[in-house]
Amino acid sequence: MSALLEQLIDALRVLPGVGPKSAQRMAYHVLERERAGGQRLSEALAAAVEKIGHCERCRDFSETPVCATCASASRDAHLLCVVESPADRLAIEQATGYRGLYYVLQGRLSPLDGIGPRELGLDRLSERLAQGEVQELIIATNPTVEGEATAHYLAQLARQQRVRPSRLAHGVPLGGELEYVDRGTLSHAFGSRSEMVD
Amino acid sequence: MSALLEQLIDALRVLPGVGPKSAQRMAYHVLERERAGGQRLSEALAAAVEKIGHCERCRDFSETPVCATCASASRDAHLLCVVESPADRLAIEQATGYRGLYYVLQGRLSPLDGIGPRELGLDRLSERLAQGEVQELIIATNPTVEGEATAHYLAQLARQQRVRPSRLAHGVPLGGELEYVDRGTLSHAFGSRSEMVD
Ligand SMILES: [Zn+2]
Ligand SMILES: [Zn+2]
């Protein structure tokens, strides 16, 4: 087989869920029918990897120092919703009518993996809460063991700064990943979030 | 969402079997955990799309005018195996001990789609058979209606040039795609191919 083709098949396996057989199918498909699309994908990948960093306000992916959501004057800065990942943020944005701001942890507390408050930028979140603009911290971590532990830590952090912590209502299935919850369930859970009392 | 991220998600959908949700998952995965791999994939795609063409002898993908298999002195030039696609060629190469040469149609006869003998390079295949080196034309088109029609056309072509046509043995499931046949079945079918009489 062509060395370049072998390199392409190998490189495609960086994508999640792509094994040797589907990598091969993808490579052949691009070469047989989608060369222009393959070229476009190559350029989009290079640009994304090079230029997309993290928003300095919310830590979501952004190609500008401050992302469009954080820079928007039409979002309600009294509400701050904390999520684990950009995918969770997007799921909430798409499923609900939420017009506040976000904070993306890019992870969850996991002491065994060396992920503590500092790695999740919680020192900067705490400073932000101290500034007094945020009135409610909507905690939307995943309903997993580590997500729950992270939620409790965040609730304490909020209370220390006299910010009201709230949590998505039950309805999000236990042990599930927020990203894969259907829009209806997620929207309902978001709407009936409850204040966290210890 | 970042415009570059949106472009990446959109561009990923050029890959077969990748819908909006998995494109999104792939983009986030690359940005969160695999930036170096994403860069490598970008380069591999660009190189493949730009430099991989078709071997002028067998029409398989190749980055050189004549592919390594066709250029090899250790392959038996008396045997020529005709397949529909590069993936079929690879499946036979991996499953069997075949040491002859290949001819890749890059399609199958399909008059309704305007794909006739010329589009499959059968004029050049005929010239090659006329040169007298090939003794057996192993026809390994897919066992579909169009694949069978193509096989019959190829068998006639072979006989006209006094080349013996043969067909893979039954064992390849009818209506299936060669590419997805398990190695054992494919190897057996290849080994017990029969001469085409008719
Ligand atoms: Zn932001
Ligand atoms: Zn070749």
The alpha carbon of B72 and the centre of ligand 2 are apart by a number of angstroms equal to 9
Q: A193 near A169, Cβ under 8 Å?
A: yes
Cα separation, B5 vs A148, in Å, equals 29
The reported pLDDT for the residue numbered B192 is 67
The reported pLDDT for the residue numbered B142 is 87
Torsion sign (Cα): A48, A50, A51, A57: positive
- Count how many residues are written for chain B: 198
Mutate to test the interface with A, among B32, B39, B42 (most CBs of A within 10 A): B42
Cα separation, A118 vs B4, in Å, equals 28
DSSP per-residue codes, chain A: --HHHHHHHHHHTTSTT--HHHHHHHHHHHHHH-HHHHHHHHHHHHHHHHH-EE-TTT-SEESSSS-HHHH-TTSEEEEEEEESSHHHHHHHHHHS---EEEEE-SS--BGGGTB-TTTTTHHHHHHHHHTS---EEEE---SSHHHHHHHHHHHHHHHHTT-EEEEPPBTBPTT--GGGS-HHHHHHHHHT-EE---
Torsion sign (Cα): A42, A59, A13, B9: negative
* Residue B153 burial (CB count, 10 A): 18
Cα separation, B175 vs B162, in Å, equals 30
From chain A, pick out residues whose CB is under 8 angstroms from the CB of B41. 11-12, 14-15, 42, 45
The reported pLDDT for the residue numbered B16 is 95
Confidence of residue A179 (pLDDT cuts 50, 70, 90): confident
Mutate to test the interface with A, among B49, B50, B182 (most CBs of A within 10 A): B49
Give me the mean pLDDT over the A23-48 stretch: 95
The reported pLDDT for the residue numbered A2 is 85
Cα separation, A138 vs A93, in Å, equals 13
Give me the mean pLDDT over the A113-132 stretch: 93
Please indicate whether, in this complex, the C-beta atoms of B11 and A37 are within 8 angstroms of each other. yes
Mutate to test the interface with A, among B7, B15, B56 (most CBs of A within 10 A): B15
Which amino acid belongs to residue B21? K
Instruction: Identify the CA nearest to A54 among candidates B151, B32, B25.
Output: B32
Low-confidence ranges of chain B (pLDDT < 70): 170-176, 188, 192, 194, 196, 198
The reported pLDDT for the residue numbered A186 is 76
Please indicate whether, in this complex, the C-beta atoms of B2 and A39 are within 8 angstroms of each other. no
Measure CA B196 to chain center.
Answer: 22
**Considering chain A, what is the average pLDDT of its residues?**
90
Least-confidence region, from A58-62, A128-132, A173-177, B121-125: A173-177
In order of start, what are the domains of chain A with their CATH numbers?
Answer: 3-51 (1.10.8.420), 75-195 (3.40.1360.10)
Instruction: Identify the CA nearest to B58 among candidates B24, B3, B106, B98.
Output: B106
Query: For residue A82, what are its two tokens?
Result: 């904390």
The ligand whose atoms approach the alpha carbon of B77 most closely is 2
Please indicate whether, in this complex, the C-beta atoms of B45 and A85 are within 8 angstroms of each other. no
Half-sphere exposure of A147 (CA within 13 A, CB side): 21
The ligand whose atoms approach the alpha carbon of B55 most closely is 2
Q: What is the distance in angstroms between the CA of the first residue and the CA of the last residue of chain B?
A: 63
From chain B, pick out residues whose CB is under 8 angstroms from the CB of A28. 61, 85-87
What confidence tens digit (pLDDT) does each residue in A56-92 have?
Answer: 999 999 999 999 999 999 999 999 999 999 989 988 8
From chain A, pick out residues whose CB is under 8 angstroms from the CB of B38. 14, 45, 48-49
Q: B10 near A20, Cβ under 8 Å?
A: no
Q: Which of A47, A85, A90 sits opposite B4 (nearest CB)?
A: A47
Give me the mean pLDDT over the A83-103 stretch: 90
